[in-house]
Structure 1
Amino acid sequence: MPEKNLETQSSHKKLRIVTNVLKAALKVWLRSQVSQISELEVEIKASDRQILSGSIPLVSISASHAVYKGLHVRQIQLIAQNIRVNIGSVLKGQPLRLLETVPVSGEITLEEDDLNASVASTLLVSGLNELLDKLLPEQRSQSKSIIWQKIILGNGYFILYFSPVPENNNTPSEMCVHLKLLSKHELQVTQFLPDNNTEVRVENENEHYIDLGSEVDIQELQLIPGKVVCRGRVNVKP
């Protein structure tokens, strides 16, 4: 009996070591995807056999103040399911790799300050230039040389301030945009003109649609003063 107890304790100790190595490798991999992150918490939910085989049914991730390709995100709460990783290589000290596409669901929050800290990021600039091309086609020839200066968030809308390069005057241009979630991967954007604290919608030709692709499944998108909250799912590929 004592020998069996020792074997059981040894087995549990080895499993804890494997779990700790896997959790550390996951944190390293997550940190490698961003240029900045704080308060990163990772919880692995898997049986002994699943962990040892590199198959993880569920991982929950909580983080704050992350920066991904220049895009600042205030809060992240994610759940990744049905993960397969190269556990054998990880135990040999090699980097963690995903072996299959992983569905990730959860919630991210961006505050107005985060967006304004991200106005020079490739991700955000690309999206804003596409929006400018759709809503203000007369500016299309200049969209590649636009400086995005400021973003203000309101209830269901945002206001963009921008200037061409080189800037010939001190007054930036303004574009006011309604944003509405039409389906799990399609957005409706409509330009409007503010008039004495009311919103006046302009011609229908300034109403456009943006398809985010079949890999995206947005369940909720909230724009409120000072904050954006997005809940949904996306597939993360190896």
Structure 2
Amino acid sequence: MATSSSSSKGSRLISRMLPVAVKFWLQTQLDEIGDLTFEIQATDRQVLSGNIPGVSLSAQQAVYQGVCITDVTVQASDIQINIGQVLRGKPLRLKQAFPIEGQVAFDGNSLGTSSTESVLADGLLDFWQTLLAKEDVATEVAHHYGPDIAVFQDPQLAQYQSRMEILGTDLVLHLVRQGQSDLELRGWVDVEQGHMLRLTTARWCLPSGDQVQSEALSDFSWNLGKQTDLRSLTIQNDQLTCQCKIMVQP
């Protein structure tokens, strides 16, 4: 793991102790992390008051709660820490929430890996449950896939996993049982109001290979929660990239 500390020259506090504490804190937040570079933007006086005005960070091949991230570049601001305890050798702790803004990218392999056991996998199953609970969507699924499809006998999707992949500029969502896709939904994803995702030009991909436009999903949006602030979401060059702002909680 490679790190770079603050550019504030002559600062023993920042250049020696604080980067070690920050690095250790990052390791406690992430399952895995590859190449890591960060810069602490603060003076000694600010740090001694427990205030860090900014931290810029970039990393590759990080894993957060099972989600594999290909590349991340972010800027954090207004960080309040327990500096007194850090100076006594205690772990770094946050005293209040702070914002992070930046870019997170996922390639096809990362999405495939993250879709099995992670917070993303749980979110995808919640997404499918929400879809299939809509009467017009269930009617459409029964029409295209047959009324006896197994999802109707397993409304909690206990026997299912969801898998995500990128095809061209489309996102493809699979609902998988026993290694086979029972349902496959494909479309372009738009961001609305920062916390809503809309799957536009949504199409059901049938076992025959045909793709059928979904009328039931023409106005469907997925609410990620108002704590989420997505600025943009793009798919190109086999990579999903998100520009976003989030609040990190203590």
The answer to whether the superposition gives a TM-score over 0.5 is yes
Secondary structure of 2:199 counterpart: strand
Secondary structure of 1:145 counterpart: coil
Secondary structure of 1:128 counterpart: helix
- Residue 226 of structure 1: how far off its partner (Å): 2.0
- Residue 106 of structure 1: how far off its partner (Å): 0.4
The one of 162, 171, 176 aligned to 1:163: 176
Say which one has the larger Rg: 1
Call closer, same or farther: CA 1:230–1:41 in 2, change over 3 Å: same
8 Å contact 2:183–2:205 — kept in the other structure? no
- Residue 207 of structure 1: how far off its partner (Å): 4.1
8 Å contact 2:186–2:205 — kept in the other structure? no
Aligned to 1:189: 199
- Point out where structure 2 has 5 or more consecutive residues left out of the alignment: 1-8, 139-150
CA offsets, 1:170-214, max 9 Å, x none?
753241232221221111135313599996421235642212222
Map 1:210-229; keep pairs closer than 5 Å.
210-224=222-236, 226-229=238-241
Q: Which runs of 4+ in 1 moved over 4 A?
A: 194-200
Within the alignment, does 1:175 sit opposite 2:187 as a pair?
no
8 Å contact 2:101–2:244 — kept in the other structure? yes
Residue identity opposite 2:97 in structure 1:
T
Residue identity opposite 2:216 in structure 1:
N
8 Å contact 1:135–1:207 — kept in the other structure? no
8 Å contact 1:79–1:105 — kept in the other structure? yes
Map 1:1-238; keep pairs closer than 5 Å.
15-137=11-133, 138=138, 139=151, 141-148=155-162, 150-164=163-177, 167=178, 171-178=180-187, 179-189=189-199, 191-194=202-205, 200-205=212-217, 207-224=219-236, 226-238=238-250
Between Structure 1 and Structure 2, how many residues are aligned?
221
8 Å contact 2:40–2:55 — kept in the other structure? yes
Counting aligned pairs with the same residue, the percent is 29
- Point out where structure 1 has 5 or more consecutive residues left out of the alignment: 1-11
Call closer, same or farther: CA 1:207–1:146 in 2, change over 3 Å: farther
Of Structure 1 and Structure 2, the greater helix share is in: 1
CA distance in 2: counterparts of 1:80 and 1:88, whole angstroms: 21
8 Å contact 1:215–1:234 — kept in the other structure? yes
Of Structure 1 and Structure 2, the greater strand share is in: 1
TM-score, normalisation: structure 2: 0.79
Aligned to 1:8: none
Secondary structure of 1:66 counterpart: strand
Secondary structure of 1:37 counterpart: coil
| More deviation, 121-130/202-211 | 202-211
CA distance in 2: counterparts of 1:44 and 1:199, whole angstroms: 50
- Residue 107 of structure 1: how far off its partner (Å): 0.4
TM-score, normalisation: structure 1: 0.83
Call closer, same or farther: CA 1:171–1:37 in 2, change over 3 Å: closer
- Residue 75 of structure 1: how far off its partner (Å): 0.4
8 Å contact 1:33–1:68 — kept in the other structure? yes
Alignment RMSD, CA only?
Answer: 2.5
